Amino acid sequence: MPKKQTFTYQDGDFVVYPTHGVGKINGTENQKIAGTDVTLLVIRFEQDRMTLRVPLEKAMTLGLRTLSSRKHMDDAITTLKSKAKVKRAMWSRRAQEYEAKIKSGDPVNIAEVVRDLRKRDPNTEQSYSERQMYQAALERLAREFAAIEDIDQDTAADRLEDLMDAA
C-alpha cells in the first residue's frame, strides 16, 4: 500500500492555496464532523480578511503548498521579463485561460498572465475586465513574492512592475 503523504507545517508558516493565494497558518483545530474527529489547518488570508479551515489529511490533494523556492520565483520573474505572447482568440476564451492560470497558484503561470495583460503602449485601449484580471494576477504574484522576499505587498508589486519596465 502506498505511503500516505502528509502536509508538514509550523504555525506562522506562509502557504499557498491555489484559489486564494498566500495565507498564514494560525494553527490547528480538532472538530467532530459527521461523527469523525478531523484535524483542521486554520489558515488566515489577511488580504481577503478570510480564515479557511482545511482538513489536514486533504491539504495536499486540495493543492495547499509551501511558498515557492527562490529558484521557482526566479523562473516566474524570467517569464515576466520575456516578450508578451499576443493571442488572437476572443477575449472570453483568453479570459478563461488566464483565470485557470491564476487559480493554478503556480507563480510561472500567474507571471504569464501578468506579462500578457500588461499594457505597454499607452495608446492602446484595455478593457475593464482585462485591467481587473491584470490587477488580480499581479496582486497574487506580488503576495507570494513579498512573502519570499520578506517585504510588503505594495513594494513587491512595484518591484515586479519595475522589472517588467526594465526588460
What's the pLDDT tens digit per position in 134-150? Answer: 999 999 999 999 999 99
Rounded to 5 degrees, φ, ψ at 20 are: -120, -15
CA atoms within 13 A on the CB side of 2: 3
Consecutive H or E run containing 143: helix 128-149
160 neighbors 142 (Cβ within 8 angstroms): yes
pLDDT at residue 7 is higher than 70: no
d(C-alpha 3, C-alpha 123), whole Å: 57
pLDDT at residue 123 is higher than 80: no
Q: Spell out the domains of the chain, with CATH numbers in brackets.
A: 14-66 (2.40.10.170), 70-166 (1.20.58.1290)
pLDDT band at 44; cut points 50, 70, 90: very high
Helix crossing, 107-117 with 153-166: angle to 10°?
60
d(C-alpha 54, C-alpha 92), whole Å: 32
d(C-alpha 156, C-alpha 144), whole Å: 9
* Residue reference for cell 520573474: 77
Nearest to 82 by CA among 117, 122, 115: 115
Cell of 44: 488566515
d(C-alpha 98, C-alpha 112), whole Å: 9
115 neighbors 80 (Cβ within 8 angstroms): yes
d(C-alpha 14, C-alpha 23), whole Å: 6
d(C-alpha 69, C-alpha 1), whole Å: 31
Quick one: average pLDDT of 20-34?
A: 90
% of the chain beyond a pLDDT of 90:
44
